């Protein structure tokens, strides 16, 4: 089984209770892996896609500057 790297997660239209649970889960993953786990909640798909594109661009810049 292959593992998949998750660099950012955009969550669309979550209730308050789901936001709390997912936030706690993300903190746990971050504590166990030692890697940042960027996540953000959005009301619209357009906002979520824009944030994901910005996260991708930032990741590419960091990868390019470390090479």
pLDDT the model gives residue 29: 86
Per-residue tens of pLDDT for the chain, all 67 residues = 677 777 889 999 999 999 999 999 989 988 998 888 889 999 999 999 999 999 999 988 888 876 5
pTM of the model: 0.76
What is the SS3 string spanning 1-67? CCCCCCCCEEEECCCHHHHHHHHHHHHHHHHHHCCCCCEEEECCHHHHHHHHHHHHHHHHHHHHHHC
pLDDT the model gives residue 52: 95
pLDDT the model gives residue 54: 95
């Amino acid at each position: 089984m292959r593992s998949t790297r998750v660099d950012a997660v955009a969550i669309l239209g979550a209730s308050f209770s789901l936001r709390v649970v997912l936030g706690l889960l993300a903190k746990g993953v971050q504590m166990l892996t030692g890697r940042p786990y960027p996540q953000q909640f959005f009301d619209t798909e357009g906002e979520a896609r824009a944030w994901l594109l910005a996260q991708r661009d930032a990741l590419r810049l960091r990868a390019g500057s470390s090479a």
